[in-house]
Chains A and B, each alone.
Chain A
Amino acid sequence: MTKPLGFEKPLGMRDYLPDVLAKQRYIEQKVNTCMTRWGYQEILTPTLEYYDTVGDASATLDSKLFKLLDRQGRTLVLRPDVTAPIARVVSSLMKDEPRPLRLMYNTNVFRAQQNEAGRNAEFIQSGVELIGDATVDADAEVIALAVASLKAAGLEEFKIVVGHVDFIEGLLEETLSNEDEREKLKERLHNSDYVGFRQDVETLSISDAEKSRLYGILKLRGGAERLAEAEALTINGRARKAVRNLQQLWLALEAYEVTDSIMFDFNLLSSLDYYTGILFEGYAADQGWPVCGGGRYDRLISQFGIDNPSTGFAIKMDRLVQASPLNPEGAEKKIYIIYDQQTRSEAIRKAQQLRGEAIVVTGTMPPSQPVDEVIDVRGGGVDV
């Protein structure tokens, strides 16, 4: 084993230098203020959790968890997301608080190393959870808040793409009685392998009409007009209910006046059986990966013993910061006071007075960074 060199850090870990961090904090603050104004209260949960509780409930793949052992030999995980810890809290410490609960967070989460650039193993997530509200209005509120949050971060060109877990499940159930065949097709969709999906459908022993219904799934991506097309593909039951659900969502989103930023994709699937209804992802122009994602998870909290239909989303801050055109404006004046041994007390006193309104640095050497004003209190009044 080679020893790490002095400059190295574990894979996927990153340093935030002042300029980058200033931008990140600035945007976090904009986003968090937006969430707070919608009535979401900040919560903070521990960095370490038990693997058997939070690790198990989390939507993060087991292979991506950072695991360690405590002194009793129990397995711990570094918080892989915040939704699962919040589920734990609302079903224990907050179990008697009246529902719905509106909670927000802005904290770091950990996902084990990927071998490549651009995928951090530790990153800041900012998000909200609306707990104990099963209505479509709750789904709409959370999606509208996602739009508002991305706007607060200054994004101009972005889309929230909305899908529904039950649509694909229901449509496959209606069309295919064989579960293996259904699972195979679902896996194709999970892997975004539309070619393989078509090839598999071709070989099924079902009628051409049924085949064309299945092919139809792949085209259901676009605006509100897709809702009617989706409904036409359904016969009854689960899939149709899912479309109705999305129709109601659309009406609610119209009231929020955010439909310009919304698009439907009936093939949007989550990789794990985590979401139970409406789900969505947010994309910013010129960013290769989603900046946020969320949806309804009605079963997660029941794993902790309480039945609480909930919905929420999380923003990946590093991606949002990359996509955001905002920059922390240099609003505060920077002053540098230069002194010598005789004038030290005077300089420090003056600095304390000025710090009410400005950033003030004192020193005996000339300023090392650009400042708006240099005050020289040295006896001789030597120019710098």
Chain B
Amino acid sequence: MSKLTVAMPKGRIFEEAVELLRRAGLSIPPEFEESRKLIIPVEEVGMDFILAKPADVPTYVEYGVADIGVVGKDVLLEEERDVYELLDLKISHCRLSVAGLPDWKPTDAPRVATKFPKVASRYFREQGAQVEIIKLNGSIELAPLIGLADRIVDIVSTGRTLKENGLVEMEEIMPITSRLIANRVSYRMKSEAIDFIIDKFATVIPRGVEV
């Protein structure tokens, strides 16, 4: 079977995906998570793992430098890459939501701060609302607190960060989980290896868990 290059985001998704692969019976060495290398070959399963920033995973896969990847639906929607979205791994559950201060009132020139400008502007357009989007790269919760924007669009998992900063979740845009994606060419040229992974994942994906 051909060797696969797998792009994975660092952090929570990575840990949960590796856990899923292990449960599926793939022998991935325990020291794997501690490694600081960016390319980790795992001979046992015939895969090279690339560790990347989440937003870059679809890019690697679209260009074909990685055959498959694991990435959150939020990133997939924002990046709009030409990749095959094969499987909902149903890990790293969270949701994309609109949040703001509890006393928020509609304003004449609404401003929304977010890490996901495309998704946010699409959402508000579908709602028939015109808003100005401000792109931030992190600590989005700051924006309404210091008056940069009146609302934010961000990932919410437990809601703790919002709460600790005195913000409330106003609307849920959509639930988010991690997806298995594949490059257009690899999906066919390496169909055997990719189908093998799909089948392995399918045996351990939590069933009936809906957010």
Which of chain B's residues have a CB closer than 8 A to the CB of A159? 188-189
By beta carbon, the residue of chain B nearest A285 is B189
| Contact among B63, B88, B183 with A195 in the assembled complex (CB-CB below 8 Å) | B88
- Inter-chain contact B85/A193, CB cutoff 8 Å: yes
Instruction: Decide if B62 is an interface residue (CB 8 Å cutoff).
Output: yes
Bitwise interface map of A from 81 to 120 toward B, beta carbon under 8 Å scored 1, else 0: 0000000000000000000000000000000000000100
Which of chain A's residues have a CB closer than 8 A to the CB of B188? 159, 161, 221, 263, 265, 283
Instruction: Decide if B45 is an interface residue (CB 8 Å cutoff).
Output: no
Q: List the count of A-B residue pairs having beta carbons below 8 Å apart.
A: 52
Q: How far is B83's CA from A191's CA once the two chains are assembled, in angstroms?
A: 8
Minimum distance in angstroms from A189 CB to a CB of chain B = 10
Which of chain A's residues have a CB closer than 8 A to the CB of B82? 192
- Inter-chain contact B63/A192, CB cutoff 8 Å: no
- Inter-chain contact B64/A290, CB cutoff 8 Å: no
Instruction: Decide if A194 is an interface residue (CB 8 Å cutoff).
Output: yes
- Inter-chain contact A221/B64, CB cutoff 8 Å: no
Instruction: Decide if B148 is an interface residue (CB 8 Å cutoff).
Output: no
By beta carbon, the residue of chain B nearest A197 is B85
Instruction: Decide if A154 is an interface residue (CB 8 Å cutoff).
Output: no
How many chain A residues touch B (Cβ–Cβ < 8 Å)?
24
Minimum distance in angstroms from A245 CB to a CB of chain B = 20
- Inter-chain contact A192/B85, CB cutoff 8 Å: yes
Interface size for chain B: under 10, 10 to 19, 20 to 34, or 35 or more residues?
A: 10 to 19
Instruction: Decide if A256 is an interface residue (CB 8 Å cutoff).
Output: no
Minimum distance in angstroms from B129 CB to a CB of chain A = 24
Given A192-B82, A193-B85, A289-B184, verify A283-B63 contact (CB < 8 Å).
no
Instruction: Decide if B86 is an interface residue (CB 8 Å cutoff).
Output: yes
Q: How far is B63's CA from A161's CA once the two chains are assembled, in angstroms?
A: 19
Instruction: Please report whether the interface of chain B is mostly helix, strand, loop or mixed according to DSSP.
Output: mixed
Minimum distance in angstroms from A57 CB to a CB of chain B = 24
Instruction: Decide if A345 is an interface residue (CB 8 Å cutoff).
Output: no
- Inter-chain contact A288/B86, CB cutoff 8 Å: no
- Inter-chain contact B183/A194, CB cutoff 8 Å: no
Given A283-B185, A289-B64, A290-B184, verify A195-B191 contact (CB < 8 Å).
no
- Inter-chain contact B63/A290, CB cutoff 8 Å: no
What is the interface of chain A, defined by CB distance below 8 A to chain B?
A: 118, 157, 159, 161, 191-196, 198-199, 221-222, 263, 265, 283-290
New A-B contacts (19) at CB < 8 Å, excluding given A191-B85, A284-B185: A118-B63, A157-B189, A159-B189, A192-B82, A192-B83, A193-B85, A194-B85, A194-B87, A198-B88, A221-B187, A221-B188, A263-B188, A263-B191, A283-B184, A287-B64, A288-B63, A288-B184, A288-B185, A290-B185
- Sorted nearest first, the 10 A-B pairs with minimum C-beta distance are A288-B64, A192-B84, A283-B185, A195-B88, A288-B63, A193-B85, A195-B85, A161-B188, A283-B189, A194-B86
